[in-house]
């Protein structure tokens, strides 16, 4: 896709503006609503940031489509052309309860192929970016390719929803084989922590396209594998049980899942 550099500048500007919206909200009372249940929340700020991005995209790139968590493009049945995939706040429960460990995520896909991905860890002021075939960056510093560590050599993040599933023998075995289990509560931040080598894998329970899209591009640019738990490719029009991991850990984990979940 042409013009990635021109877009890049704009997108970075928008992300910083959106981050300011999220931080300024700490001074005011949030309006918090339940979506499907008590632990699935949305705030007025999630909605405001999504609308902020949609207005910008409609103004600068009126022909392009947007898929966003808080309502945009949910009727989409294909990924033809250019599609922006947006998660205005990833880690809404952290945003509400901790005012920390949440991220703003944007990515651009063309005909279903990831072109550029952005994950901004707002409170640490860490912007992770990646461009197809050109590597991944943290605040404009190129990230090295990951070391291909095995499960026994590192920490894994496993989402609580996956850990607490009824048939969780596989997840338990993975946790036990690893050096230790961590739970952050932001799929995007857990993914970038795998990309920087702090974790060797992140396993998600039922992630939507906007939870996955930006992180997948960043992960693949540093040599990680990002698939469904059984090793099948990610489906960006549906929910997925996911793994992002070093190649060695990816093999160990998908083997465990293929053998134990039947
Ligand atoms: P969200 O904060 O944007 O909703 C929490 O473990 C991670 O899973 C977050 O990245 C969260 O994204 C995502 N997630 C996806 N679906 C969820 C759901 N139904 N309930 C809670 N978190 C969900
Ligand atoms: Ca949500
Ligand atoms: Ca999310
Ligand atoms: Ca969200």
User: Which atom from ligand 1 is nearest to the alpha carbon of 190?
Assistant: 10
Measure 39 CA to ligand 2 centroid, in angstroms: 9
Whole-number pLDDT of residue 219: 99
Distance CA 48, CA 144 (A): 35
Whole-number pLDDT of residue 261: 56
Ligand 1 pocket list (CB less than 6 A): 36, 39-40, 69, 87, 90-92, 159, 185-187, 207-208, 211
Whole-number pLDDT of residue 146: 98
Domains and CATH numbers, the chain: 4-142 (3.30.540.10), 151-260 (3.40.190.80)
Region for residue 202 given its phi and psi (left: phi exceeds 0; alpha: psi -120 to 50; beta: otherwise): beta
Whole-number pLDDT of residue 139: 98
Measure 88 CA to ligand 1 centroid, in angstroms: 12
Measure 258 CA to ligand 2 centroid, in angstroms: 29
31 vs 86, 104, 122, CA distance in Å?
A: 21, 19, 20
Whole-number pLDDT of residue 2: 54
Q: Which ligand is nearest to the CA of 95?
A: 1
Tokens of 158: 């496993």
Residues counted in the chain: 262
Nearest CA to ligand 1 atom 6: 185
Residue pair 119/130 in contact by the 8 Å Cβ criterion: no
Q: Which residues surround ligand 3, an ion (CB under 5 A)?
A: 87, 90, 211
Whole-number pLDDT of residue 259: 86
Whole-number pLDDT of residue 168: 85
Decide if the complex's ipTM is over 0.90: yes
Q: What is the mean pLDDT of each run of 10 residues along the chain (262 residues)?
A: 80 98 95 94 97 98 97 95 98 97 98 98 98 97 98 97 86 96 97 98 97 98 97 97 98 92 54
């Amino acid at each position: 896709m042409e013009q990635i550099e021109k877009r890049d500048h704009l997108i970075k500007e928008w992300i910083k503006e959106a981050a300011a919206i999220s931080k300024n909200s700490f001074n005011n009372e949030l309006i918090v609503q339940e979506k499907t249940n008590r632990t699935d929340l949305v705030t007025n700020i999630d909605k405001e940031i999504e609308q902020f991005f949609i207005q910008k995209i409609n103004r600068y790139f009126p022909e392009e489509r947007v898929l966003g968590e808080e309502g945009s493009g949910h009727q989409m049945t294909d990924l033809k052309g250019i599609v922006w995939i947006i998660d205005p706040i990833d880690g809404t429960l952290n945003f509400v309860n901790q005012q920390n460990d949440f991220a703003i995520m944007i990515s651009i896909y063309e005909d279903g192929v990831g072109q550029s991905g952005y994950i901004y860890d707002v409170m640490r002021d860490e912007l992770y970016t990646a461009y197809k075939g050109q590597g991944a960056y943290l605040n404009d510093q190129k990230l090295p390719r990951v070391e291909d560590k095995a499960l026994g050599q590192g920490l894994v993040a496993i989402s609580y929803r996956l850990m607490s599933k009824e048939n969780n023998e596989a997840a338990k075995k993975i946790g036990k084989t690893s050096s230790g289990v961590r739970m952050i509560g932001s799929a995007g931040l857990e993914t970038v922590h795998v990309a920087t080598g702090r974790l060797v894998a992140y396993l998600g329970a039922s992630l939507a396209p906007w939870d996955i899209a930006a992180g997948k591009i960043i992960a693949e640019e540093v040599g990680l594998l990002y698939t469904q738990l059984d090793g099948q490719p990610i489906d960006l029009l549906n929910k997925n049980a996911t793994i992002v991991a070093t190649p060695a850990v990816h093999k160990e984990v998908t083997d465990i899942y293929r053998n134990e979940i039947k």
